[in-house]
Structure 1
């Protein structure tokens, strides 16, 4: 896809604990539409909740594993059969709550095809690392509000657990981030969505001399998510 238009919410975080700035990007792409309600199975909205829960735990784990914040700013939470480090910083929690809250609506409307976590060198503004969470829409989308998934929640959580394990183990091959870094969140979405007032245009974050590693995917049978980390190779 090409000719992206983008939007950015004025929020950004850096490793400098006393100078937290927040930024969230929205970059435009193309998707379709849907909404689902069914009490006996996973609905589109329920599936969007599952995806955003994964992103919340996944992003927090990345922030911890990549050392963007001191270890004492995290606490352990148990989910998916794992102990996951979650930020205790209220600013970060509020930021992610705002981003993921909006994302849930757009996922339920099938307006998003990718979410990206961007890690940038604060001094040079060079993009050091990018985590792409790609979204595909599965099942019979022609069903509209009638579409549901009968996939067992336990099976979905087991798939998510396997991805989170890979995120944790990524520190064994990712280069050390030996500079003060910030993180941004980009959301790639259809260009006809209704935007919050705070969103504005943004550019895709590319990495020079990059290497990518694709991790496992998980699926609710409504949303499928693939996780890919792209990082700058050491000179």
Structure 2
């Protein structure tokens, strides 16, 4: 859990909050957008909500992958070298059809502006901001199109150019949409006073 002091959330505490937020957001998206069957998830209480997270007893490979990525993201948050996290959902590539981007969930991270007087913010207020974003992810099923095609996902981590990435990681295409082929919805902002996360989702328009 993040630590609070008389002058507000510490930098270490903010890193823990943001990392935990990413973890629940990614799991929530994978569940709500049906990238994996519901049986691959289990319910967990967080931020006053019942959220779904990957069950390692059912899909140990996926749980290990997410843990590995988030551990690295936490290290980069500590170092101040991570800029953005993007979860891309796309159709599964087949011999007949190449993969196509369906959704891009973007979490744009930036340091909160420094001020002479430390800004105090109650942890409950921060949790309320996170809960609001998680509710928006859950509500996405009401307005975003769903396809019957098999889906896969990728996590893109944007860092400073001088950051050394693990050997197993690869440079990836941004999987951007072409102009006028997507709709964008802005999500709520998370601000710990040490980090600010601006979030939005872009999704492929469905032809009538």
Please give the TM-score of this superposition, normalised by the length of structure 2: 0.87
Which of 84, 104, 117 is the equivalent residue of 1:114? 84
Are 1:211 and 2:178 an aligned pair? no
Number of the residue aligned with 1:227: 199
Number of the residue aligned with 1:24: none
Which of 164, 182, 207 is the equivalent residue of 2:134? 164
Change (3 A) 1:181 1:76: same
Are 1:68 and 2:35 an aligned pair? yes
Which of 64, 68, 74 is the equivalent residue of 1:94? 64
State the alpha-carbon separation in 2 of the partners of residues 111 and 148 from structure 1.
22
Number of the residue aligned with 1:14: none
What secondary structure does 1:45 align onto?
helix
State the alpha-carbon separation in 1 of the partners of residues 27 and 67 from structure 2.
12
Unaligned runs of 5+ in 1: 1-36
Q: Alpha-carbon deviation of 1:38?
A: 8.8
* RMSD between aligned residues: 2.0
Contact 1:136–1:223 (CA<8 Å) still a contact in 2? yes
Contact 1:213–1:228 (CA<8 Å) still a contact in 2? yes
Which of 39, 49, 52 is the equivalent residue of 1:85? 52
Contact 2:4–2:13 (CA<8 Å) still a contact in 1? no
Q: Which has the higher contact order (CA 8 A, sep 6+)?
A: 1
State the alpha-carbon separation in 2 of the partners of residues 170 and 226 from structure 1.
17
State the alpha-carbon separation in 2 of the partners of residues 227 and 165 from structure 1.
13
Q: Which aligned runs of 4 or more in structure 1 are off by greater than 3 angstroms?
A: 37-41, 147-150
Contact 1:120–1:183 (CA<8 Å) still a contact in 2? yes
Q: How does 1:54-65 map to 2 (within 5 A)?
A: 54-65=21-32
What secondary structure does 2:156 align onto?
strand
State the alpha-carbon separation in 1 of the partners of residues 147 and 70 from structure 2.
26
Number of the residue aligned with 1:127: 101
Q: How does 1:41-52 map to 2 (within 5 A)?
A: 41-52=8-19
Contact 1:207–1:232 (CA<8 Å) still a contact in 2? yes
